[in-house]
A and B are shown apart, each in its own frame.
Chain A
Amino acid sequence: GAGVSQSPSNKVTEKGKDVELRCDPISGHTALYWYRQSLGQGLEFLIYFQGNSAPDKSGLPSDRFSAERTGGSVSTLTIQRTQQEDSAVYLCASSLGGFSGQYFGPGTRLTVT
């Protein structure tokens, strides 16, 4: 079956611009997570959705970062006024919740120039 998909696969943007990253989770997965993977920091949690609600936003690095989820499905991560330190691979994962595995998409590689 279809896995988690993310778009775009690569995004190059100029410092100060806004970007939107999209995640399509596995159908039926109620839990959705965003993570960031950078050379200096490894894999780090950003935000968790259960349905359309985000009960845990503790990993968002600053108020320039926001995310939403609609229809219990697609999620968008928005970064405003991008900075060079935002350059990383942004990964989305979904799961059935509880003690079930989180399955990752291929990621979006963001480069801020």
Chain B
Amino acid sequence: GESVGLHLPTLSVQEGDNSIINCAYSNSASDYFIWYKQESGKGPQFIIDIRSNMDKRQGQRVTVLLNKTVKHLSLQIAATQPGDSAVYFCAETGGATNKLIFGTGTLLAVQP
């Protein structure tokens, strides 16, 4: 629905710490999930994906966890760096078209 403006949840971490960004997804039938990073003025950048038949997937410095029981996703970033500062979106998809349904996003602010 309409809203005056999105108020993004913010996670503030110190450089070098680990970050955990959480996301609740809406559709229990969704079978594929993607995390995106979006920097100001740029399009969303693919970080990592996971299928519903998995509960964990690791990439370089990032790990995605999926809990289908409570419809929850998390993105863990190890040794957070200033360049990780951005808005992070989770997206879910399913069905024939695989259109993405995005969460509202979390702003990650890394303090040097």
Binding site for B on A (CB under 8 A): 4, 31, 33, 35, 39-45, 48, 50, 55-56, 59, 91, 93, 95, 97-99, 101-107
- Chain B interface secondary structure, helix, strand, loop or mixed? loop
Q: Which 10 A-B pairs have the closest CB atoms?
A: A104-B43, A43-B102, A56-B97, A45-B99, A48-B97, A101-B46, A104-B44, A106-B43, A107-B43, A99-B32
Q: Are B98 and A35 in contact (CB under 8 A)?
A: no
Known: A4-B43, A43-B44, A56-B97. 5 other contacts (CB 8 A): A39-B6, A48-B99, A103-B46, A104-B36, A104-B44
Contacts between the two chains (Cβ within 8 Å), count: 64
Contact with A along B24-46 (1 / 0, CB 8 A): 00000001101010000011111
* Smallest Cβ-Cβ distance to B49: which chain A residue: A101
Number of B positions contacting A (CB below 8 A): 27
Q: Which residues of B contact A101 (CB under 8 A)?
A: 34, 46, 49
Residues of B72-104 at the interface with A, using a CB-CB cut-off of 8 Å, are 89, 91, 96-102, 104
